[in-house]
Amino acid sequence: MELHETDELDGPAPSEPGDLPPLGRERTPPSTRRFKPVRFTIKLVLFVVAMYFFVLPLAPDFQAALRRLRNVEPGWLAAGAALDDGGRATPVPPPDDDQKGGAS
């Protein structure tokens, strides 16, 4: 059965059976929501302050851990960071084929 424009469809008739007529969607304007950096910065600072004063002190020994972090020598910190990055950058070779089989 062929559909013609005189049938009860809105818009042109489909060309083949199973095709649906195009939907008449209206174009919506782009989002009017803008990124406001000043408000975002204020909210972020308030969040960090709230976490620092209200959430982190609930952790056991938080003050002692914070004191230790403040007394770290910068040279040791840089050496640790360099060793950590060096370990991540070192490629690991794949295992040999003869070791995959287990017992020989």
pLDDT in tens, 52-98: 889 888 888 888 888 888 898 989 989 988 998 887 777 777 777 66
Residue 97 lies in a domain: no
Q: Would the pTM of this model clear 0.75, i.e. be above it?
A: no
For 59-68, write each residue's pLDDT tens digit.
888 888 888 8
Residue 83 lies in domain: 37-89
- In order, the DSSP letters of 23-75 are P-PPPPPPP-----HHHHHHHHHHHHHHIIIIIGGGSTTHHHHHHHHHT--HH
Residue 50 lies in a domain: yes
* Count of domains forming the chain: 1
14 and 20 Cβ atoms separated by less than 8 Å: yes
Unique residue bearing structure tokens 């809105």: 10
Amino acid letter, 3: L
Residue 75 lies in a domain: yes
Residue 8 lies in a domain: no
